[in-house]
């Protein structure tokens, strides 16, 4: 993908990976539309990159409609939509209904609603790109966080369905699946997240660099932590061994 003179929308763009993506895209010559629930953060990043801030809830139907409408009104089109906003609620079946609902709304339905909003213009033009920030949890799992794991598996499944369904119509779909990244989201996972992810955590800028490389070669899975590919292969080919290793980790946490 040629970012120069393209139009990129980034949800969750006020902090972390989203802010790093916004900066990288702007450096490459893209016009960036920054969305975030934190209006001040969205405006700060947009001002930094010379972009357009559209604060709001990118998980809601109205929020997505407002975002896509504002971006299209300003630039006439959207070339790249980054469904990057996410939440990381912990717990298992006992987690509150609100935690499960929030995880599914933000981590899954935000992607579905974004695709619904941008697909008409992309199918008409015969081109477009959808980047879903999923997580390695969508390929593997996240101990201590069933809502996060389940919703991220669903986000990956939706991205894969989109890729298969629309690839021959000019639309490229990619799934970004990092492990630990030094962001507010990682801080919010508490002691469990820190024990599992902190040692190998990378900076948001490193994730953004990997995304830039992936935009050039159109790979579906973007893995800033290369070892995730090995874990994913083991999970598929020897699930008993994989489960045994994960149970060992779980016992250590307990």
- The DSSP code sequence of the chain is ---TT-EEEETTTTSHHHHHHHHHHHHTT-EEEE--SSHHHHHHHHHHHT-EE--S-TTSHHHHHHHHHHHHHHHS--SEEEE-------BSTTS-HHHHHHHHIIIIIHHHHHHHHHHHHHHHHT-EEEEEE--GGGTS--TTBHHHHHHHHHHHHHHHHHHHHHGGGTEEEEEE--S-BSSHHHHTTHHHHHHHHGGG-B-HHHHHHHHHHHHHHT-SEE-SSTHHHHHHHHHHH-HHHHHHHHHHHHHHH-
pLDDT value at 57 more than 70: yes
Q: For residue 20, which of 53, 52, 54, 48 has the smallest C-alpha distance? A: 48
pLDDT value at 254 more than 90: no
The model's pLDDT over 148-191, given as tens digits with 9 standing for 90+, comes to 999 999 999 999 999 999 999 999 999 999 998 887 776 656 66
pLDDT value at 34 more than 80: yes
* Per-residue confidence (pLDDT) for residue 17, from 0 to 100: 96
Concerning whether 148 is annotated as a catalytic residue, the answer is yes
pLDDT value at 28 more than 80: yes
Whole-prediction pTM: 0.94
- Rounded to 5 degrees, φ, ψ at 125 are -80, -25
**3-state secondary structure at position 107:** helix
Across residues 186-211, what is the average pLDDT?
78
pLDDT value at 211 more than 70: yes
Annotated catalytic residue: which of 148, 166, 231, 232?
148
Query: If you average pLDDT over every residue of the chain, what do you get?
Result: 94
* Per-residue confidence (pLDDT) for residue 101, from 0 to 100: 97
CATH class of 7-227: alpha beta
**Domain range list for the chain:** 7-227
* Per-residue confidence (pLDDT) for residue 87, from 0 to 100: 95
pLDDT range class, residue 194, cuts 50, 70, 90? low
Asked if residues 197 and 244 have their Cβ atoms less than 8 Å apart, the reply is: no
Share above pLDDT 70 across residues of the chain, in percent, rounded to a whole number: 95
Across residues 209-214, what is the average pLDDT?
97
Q: Residue 132: enclosing H or E segment and its boundaries?
A: strand 128-133
The model's pLDDT over 98-145, given as tens digits with 9 standing for 90+, comes to 999 999 999 999 999 999 999 999 999 999 999 999 999 999 999 999
The model's pLDDT over 77-108, given as tens digits with 9 standing for 90+, comes to 999 999 999 999 999 999 999 999 999 999 99
pLDDT range class, residue 1, cuts 50, 70, 90? confident
Asked if residues 6 and 79 have their Cβ atoms less than 8 Å apart, the reply is: yes
């Amino acid at each position: 993908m040629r970012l120069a003179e393209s139009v990129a929308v980034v949800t969750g763009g006020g902090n972390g990976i989203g802010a790093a993506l916004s900066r990288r895209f702007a450096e490459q010559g893209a016009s960036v539309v920054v969305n975030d629930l934190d209006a001040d953060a969205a405006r700060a990043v947009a001002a930094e990159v010379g972009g357009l801030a559209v604060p709001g809830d990118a998980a809601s139907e109205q929020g997505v409609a407002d975002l896509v409408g504002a971006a299209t009104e300003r630039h006439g089109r959207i070339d790249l939509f980054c469904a990057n906003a996410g939440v990381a609620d912990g717990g298992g079946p006992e987690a509150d209904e609100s935690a499960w609902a929030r995880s599914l709304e933000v981590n899954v339905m935000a992607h579905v609603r974004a695709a619904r909003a941008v697909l008409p213009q992309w199918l008409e033009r015969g081109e477009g790109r959808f980047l879903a920030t999923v997580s390695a949890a969508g390929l593997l799992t996240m101990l201590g966080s069933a809502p996060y794991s389940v919703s991220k598996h669903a986000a990956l499944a939706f991205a894969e369905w989109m890729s298969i369904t629309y690839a021959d119509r000019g639309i490229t779909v990619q799934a970004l699946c990092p492990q630990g990244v030094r962001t507010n989201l990682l801080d919010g996972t508490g002691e469990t997240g820190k024990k599992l992810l902190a040692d190998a955590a990378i900076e948001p800028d490193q994730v953004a660099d990997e995304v830039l490389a992936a935009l050039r070669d159109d790979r579906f899975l973007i893995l800033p932590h290369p070892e995730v590919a090995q874990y994913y292969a083991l999970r598929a080919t020897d699930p008993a061994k994989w489960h045994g290793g994960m149970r060992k980790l779980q016992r250590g946490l307990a």
